[in-house]
Chains A and B, each alone.
Chain A
Amino acid sequence: MSDAVAHADHHAAAHAHHPAQQHHFDTMPQQKEAAVLGMWVFLLTEILFFGGLFVAYMIYRVWYFDAFAEASRRLSLFWGGLNTAVLIGSSLTMAMAVRGAQTNKRKATVNWLILTMILGTVFLGVKVIEYQDKFANYEVPGPSFNWLAHEQHQAAAGEHAAAPAEGEHRKLSLSPEQLQRTTQIYFSLYFTMTGLHALHMIIGIGLMSVITWMAWKGRFDGEYYTPVEMSGLYWHFVDIVWIFLFPLLYLVERHQ
């Protein structure tokens, strides 16, 4: 109670304030709502930030659908699917971290945050494997891009040893030269969109490491856990972006 008295002296108020409450807010719920609203306004700018890329994707997908379908098959469904599961799992652990803070469980909050960061790192690790594969197969847009390198490599490995017409059940509407040009548009969008997404993941993990340290120091309790919740909103937003990127990039046309 001595703390409360000292605090009340400061404010010349009869009731005690939460230590985290700032003087320009009347109550803790009001302070929290202002933070939530502000975070959502930031996330709206993020939605439109990614929205521009989705528009570019949409236009080029209609224009060069066959190239998008062909290039999309070059992505590994295994790694993409695994990463989707990892990211959804990290959203669950993040939600649990916020819940831990809400219910005054300091250790649980820290552990869930660490688990979320581990899952985020696993996601980025898988992304590194995928990017490496793209570099190794000359599938990075630019002077070294070679659409045929992949098939030549497979032919050399004996996977497509039979006549090419036998292996190719799909009838290609584009010649190899046309594919060489148009699939670079797909891969440009692939690297831009997943790269920007990965950058958001890296920032998210950076945010979380600070929040974890704050949680460990006991800065949060059931009434004040705004930083945990804000990082959560950011992390879930990044998850949502991936929920759209996965079908758009990996599943353009898989049924043929």
Chain B
Amino acid sequence: MSAEHAYAHDSHAGGHVSPVSLYITIFLALMVLTGVTVAAAFVNLGQFNFLVAMIIACFKASLVIWYFMHVKYQSRLTKLTVATGLFFLAVLLGLMLVDYGSKGFTPMPPPTDSESVIGAH
């Protein structure tokens, strides 16, 4: 059964329609940033290699969330919900780092053949 248009049509009821050019722009930005991530990985930045890769990835994810997932055009309640999820992810990662960081979070001494890989800490 097909949806009949026997009701008063409200052009705003369906939500925001983004222009195609915006989607193309976001797509190109994501592709370029992927290239930047790969290129940056081949430059020795010491500890900052990881940081650069993660900052770019977070920026790419933000573009997808904001434009492809239409969060930009959603209600404040939805925006708050999304932020809540990211907040709890930060809590998960952050508190784990704090916990391990307080216990000498450094590379493990390589295990010898006689000891188990896990449980040496």
Contact = CB atoms under 8 A, between A and B. Distances in A.
Interface of A: 1-4, 7, 15-20, 27-29, 32-33, 36-37, 40-41, 43-44, 47-48, 51-52, 54-55, 58-59, 62-66, 77, 81, 84-85, 88-89, 91-92, 94-96, 98-99, 102-103, 173-175, 177-178, 181-182, 185, 217-225, 229, 232-233, 236-237, 239-240, 243-244, 246-248, 251, 253-256
Instruction: Enumerate the 9 nearest inter-chain pairs by beta-carbon distance, A residue then B residue, closest first.
Output: A44-B85, A16-B7, A251-B41, A3-B6, A247-B53, A4-B6, A92-B27, A63-B108, A218-B2
Contacts of B82: 40, 44
Contact of B14 (A1, A47, A225, A243): A225
Contacts of A77: 38
Contact of A220 (B3, B7, B9, B45): B3
A254 B42 contact: yes
Contacts of B69: 232-233, 236-237
Given A44-B81, A47-B86, A243-B61, A55 B3 contact: no
A58 B97 contact: yes
Nearest to A247: B53
Given A40-B78, A99-B17, A236-B68, A48 B89 contact: yes
Given A48-B92, A251-B53, A81 B23 contact: no
A236 B70 CA distance: 11
Given A40-B85, A81-B38, A239-B64, A99 B20 contact: yes
Contacts, number: 198
Contact of A173 (B20, B110, B112): B110
Which of A7, A91, A175, A182 has the largest number of chain B CB atoms within 10 A?
Answer: A91
A237 B41 CA distance: 24
Given A182-B117, A243-B57, A251-B38, A92 B24 contact: yes
Given A17-B7, A19-B3, A243-B30, 7 more contacts: A33-B75, A40-B82, A48-B89, A54-B93, A96-B20, A229-B15, A239-B64
B34 A85 contact: yes
Interface in B6-44: 6-15, 17-18, 20, 23-24, 26-27, 30-31, 34, 37-38, 41-44
29 contacts: A3-B4, A15-B8, A16-B6, A18-B7, A29-B15, A32-B15, A44-B84, A44-B85, A47-B86, A63-B121, A81-B34, A85-B31, A89-B27, A95-B18, A99-B20, A99-B23, A178-B110, A178-B112, A218-B2, A223-B10, A229-B15, A236-B64, A239-B68, A240-B64, A243-B60, A246-B34, A251-B38, A254-B41, A255-B44
